[in-house]
Structure 1
Amino acid sequence: MTDERALRADARRNRARVLEVAAEVFATEGLSVPVHEIARRAGVGTGTVSRHFPTKEDLLTAIMSSRLVKLTEEADEIARREAPGTAFFALFTALVREGASDCGLAELAGTDRRLDALGERAGADLCGRLQSLLAAAQQAGDVRADVGYLDVRALMSACMSRREDPLEPILGVVIDGLRGGTSG
């Protein structure tokens, strides 16, 4: 029984190490880093990674799940305590800041639906929260009516890709452009 416990403890340590290394690598270098490179940096074999995470998408889901849940909870809290426009812009800003510090998240936040799918698997509908806050802010006249959700995603992605400090100048320009009463 002791050997079995030690083996399970070793497997848990390996899994934790793979998650730690993968999160760091994806954040600093993006999602294109191959699994065998993550395994090498974690000091384990590719087979070890595959046993815990059969696909790279499974590994990414494991890393992003807790972050997406946290961000979704944050979106819900903001929506409860703030007016629609304030809530939308607060979430937009929070997501841009998160993505600007994490290459992998920035890649996922582009206009494709990969972030939506990861959120769905994690049980965290962050993209749905953003859509709902956008609609509420538009209904309140706080965000231009001619801006769609995919436009917002594209703007977020562009802001995230800047990776320059401070983010405030670009965020200010984008937020001013999104505000209600400024459409064409």
Structure 2
Amino acid sequence: MSSRPPEPAAPALRADARRNREQVLRTAQQLFATEGLGVSLDEIARRAGVGPGTVHRHFPAKEALYLAVAIDELKQLVAEGTALIATGDPAALFTLLARMMANGAENVAVKSALLAAEFDLRTAAPDVAADLTRNVADLLDRAHAAGAARPDVTADEVMALVAGAFAAIRHANAETSRERSAHIAELILDGLRARP
């Protein structure tokens, strides 16, 4: 993977500009997942209900939009992980991992485009990637303490298995089938659960 420096921090946006940017990200994420990466920036603008200039101002190239969508998805997963930590549920690890794998299956086109462009999210958004790994580690510690997860598995191994799940889902051509991708994810999660 390329060791490109992380994207510079965006300047603080006005509330309306922030809402527009978030709407563009949500719309792009949905369109990329359902219609593929061929959808134009102008079509994303139209469906997001903003002008083309708004999209082009925030994302001058499609690759910038791919990266922003992927980072936004990571931030959503971090928020979900933080909420799951607050529940105290020892099985919350499996909930977060299932969501991470589903997210990867839904957004395989974006992730593939980033790989092709040699973008590594861990390099592009190291703080967000570290937060997600920390959430997984905290949930794994809780699952270990409750006897819900195999005692010999580490957080790094769990993250490697999630990355492997994306490859397995892609290999099985299961990206467009929630049932098939969820089944593959469940097979992987079963291997992480403690045995009686």
TM-score (norm 1): 0.59
Question: What displacement does 1:166 show?
Answer: 1.7
**Could you tell me which amino acid in structure 2 is paired with residue 174 of structure 1?**
I
Runs of 5+ in structure 1 lacking a partner? 1-10
Aligned pair 1:179/2:188, yes or no? no
Task: Please name the residue that 1:156 is paired with.
Answer: 165
**Could you tell me which amino acid in structure 1 is paired with residue 192 of structure 2?**
L
Structure of larger gyration radius: 1
Q: How does 1:32-181 map to 2 (within 5 A)?
A: 33=37, 38-39=40-41, 41-42=43-44, 51-84=57-90, 86-104=91-109, 107=112, 114-120=120-126, 125-138=131-144, 140-144=146-150, 145-146=152-153, 148-158=157-167, 160-161=169-170, 162-163=174-175, 164-167=177-180, 168-181=182-195
Cα contact 1:18–1:38 (8 A) shared by 2: no
Cα contact 1:142–1:180 (8 A) shared by 2: yes
Question: What displacement does 1:139 show?
Answer: 5.4
Cα contact 2:161–2:188 (8 A) shared by 1: no
Aligned pair 1:27/2:41, yes or no? no
Deviates more, 1:87-96 or 1:131-140: 131-140
Cα contact 1:116–1:126 (8 A) shared by 2: no
Give CA-to-partner distance per residue, 1:116-135, whole Å, 9 cap, x none: 34544769832432244335
Cα contact 1:75–1:129 (8 A) shared by 2: yes
Secondary structure in structure 1 of the residue aligned to 2:179: coil
Could you say if the C-alpha distance between residues 103 and 91 of structure 1 is closer, same or farther in structure 2, counting changes exceeding 3 Å? same
* Distance in 2 separating the partners of 1:97 and 1:176: 16
**Could you tell me which amino acid in structure 1 is paired with residue 40 of structure 2?**
I
Question: What displacement does 1:92 show?
Answer: 0.7
Root mean square deviation of aligned Cα = 4.4
Could you say if the C-alpha distance between residues 51 and 83 of structure 1 is closer, same or farther in structure 2, counting changes exceeding 3 Å? closer
Cα contact 1:18–1:39 (8 A) shared by 2: no
Cα contact 2:81–2:132 (8 A) shared by 1: yes
